[in-house]
Amino acid sequence: MFRESGARYMIPIHWGTFILSHEPLDEPVARLKSEAKRLAIEDRVIILRHGESFTVPEQILQHRAEKFTHF
């Protein structure tokens, strides 16, 4: 769904928060990292630790602003 939507970044949330099955809490994010590497999109999958933030690069913000203000 990430690639199909054309999103520039994926920032998974709530990983490691809830016990969903018998897998270790960090297994889903480890599998995501592995798959992102396999697909060569690891620079677009942003894994944040508790309290971390991510700032969208200025050139992306500028491009989007131009895209939506020029009719």
Locate the domains of the chain by residue range: 2-69
Q: What is the C-alpha to C-alpha distance for residues 18 and 26, in angstroms, rounded to an integer?
A: 10
pLDDT tens-place values along the chain, 71 residues long: 888 988 889 999 988 888 888 989 889 999 999 999 999 999 999 999 889 999 888 877 776 656 666 55
pTM score, two decimals? 0.74
Q: What is the DSSP letter of 62?
A: H
Q: Coil, strand or helix: which one is 46?
A: coil
Residue in 16, 5, 71, 70 with CA at minimum distance from that of residue 44: 5
pLDDT for res 62: 74
Q: Are 12 and 32 in contact (CB under 8 A)?
A: yes
Q: What is the C-alpha to C-alpha distance for residues 28 and 68, in angstroms, rounded to an integer?
A: 36
Residue in 17, 47, 15, 49 with CA at minimum distance from that of residue 33: 47
